[in-house]
Structure 1
């Protein structure tokens, strides 16, 4: 099995796992992953993560041209913006996960960092998560908004839409996405209950030990 075939299978397996656990639904969400030759594999537009066909994934070459497979997700500008601004990005995952979307709509959510520091793992895997404004699905301006962050954020939350996470590998991006959704859920569960977050010294310790970009 070639590396590309393995990656195709892995995209479909992880997508189905996220669907089965309710992290996305219907025909929502999309995934892309970088290939060894600099090209991309991307989930097709209108597809469901429940049952992706590895052979039908959109295949781009290193010049960004679609060379095989079905037409790609309409959110390509979003994916391209992460690859262009974060050299370490090896995969991008975008979902419409319920708790993250709910958090994006609350007026008290901090647009500079949507997740309170409730656990060390959300800091380790995500850093700060920026809240971006609402854009119509497929609007190229979403990509421009990500580019405006100049590569400083590995994860963003699109208002009234959902989270987007870039990772060094496909597994890292999926794990970080799951951490984002669980932390959003924890945030909503404890809202109004005055939870005790990590203090500044504890946050700084996590940042230094795990080399987290927190600026």
Structure 2
């Protein structure tokens, strides 16, 4: 099996795993990954994470031209913005995961650092998560908002919409976005309690030990 065939299978396997566990439902969510030749494989528009067909994924060449497969997700501006501003990005995932969407609506969140430091793992896998304002689905302005961050964030949370995460490969991106969802779930569970979060010193220690981007 070629490396591209393996990547196609991996994209569909991981997407179905997230769908089966309720991380994104219906035809929501989209996923993309870099191919060895510098192109992209992208989930088609209107497709379900539970029923992606490896042979029908949208295929882009290294110049960004759609050359095969079904029409790509309408959220391509988000994916393109991450690939253009973060050279380390090998994959991008966007979900409508319930707790992350709910957390994006909370009035007390810090737009520059959305997640409270409840565990070290979100810090390690995501760094600081930026809140972006509400945009109409598919609006190219989402991509421009992401570009304005200058590649300083590997993860953003779209207000009233859901998270978008870039990773070095498709498995890393999926693991990171699941950590975001679990942290948002924890934050909601602890809301209203006087929970003991990590101290600023503990956060600095995690950032230093695991060489986390933290600007």
- TM-score normalized by the length of structure 2: 0.99
Matched residue SS, 1:16 = helix
Q: Take 2:102 and 2:124, find their aligned partners in 1: how far apart are those partners?
A: 23
Aligned partner of 1:75 in structure 2 is 75
Aligned partner of 1:5 in structure 2 is 5
Provide structure 2 residue ranges, at least 5 long, that are not aligned to the other structure. Answer: none
Q: Take 1:16 and 1:66, find their aligned partners in 2: how far apart are those partners?
A: 24
Aligned partner of 2:173 in structure 1 is 173
Q: Take 1:14 and 1:200, find their aligned partners in 2: how far apart are those partners?
A: 34
Q: 1:109 Cα deviation (Å)?
A: 1.3
Query: Any runs of at least 4 consecutive aligned residues in structure 1 with deviations exceeding 6 A, and if so which?
Result: none
Aligned partner of 1:158 in structure 2 is 158
Q: Take 1:64 and 1:208, find their aligned partners in 2: how far apart are those partners?
A: 37
Q: Take 1:17 and 1:165, find their aligned partners in 2: how far apart are those partners?
A: 17
Map 1:94-133; keep pairs closer than 5 Å.
94-133=94-133
CA offset digits 1:175-201 (Å, max 9, x no partner): 000000000000000001111111111
Q: 1:108 Cα deviation (Å)?
A: 1.1
CA offset digits 1:133-165 (Å, max 9, x no partner): 000000000000000000000000000000000
Matched residue SS, 1:152 = coil
Aligned partner of 2:26 in structure 1 is 26
Provide structure 1 residue ranges, at least 5 long, that are not aligned to the other structure. Answer: none
Instruction: Report the RMSD for the aligned CA atoms in angstroms.
Output: 0.4
CA offset digits 1:44-94 (Å, max 9, x no partner): 000000110000000000000000000000000100000000000000000
Q: Take 1:205 and 1:35, find their aligned partners in 2: how far apart are those partners?
A: 35
- TM-score normalized by the length of structure 1: 0.99
Q: 1:96 Cα deviation (Å)?
A: 0.2
Q: 1:40 Cα deviation (Å)?
A: 0.1
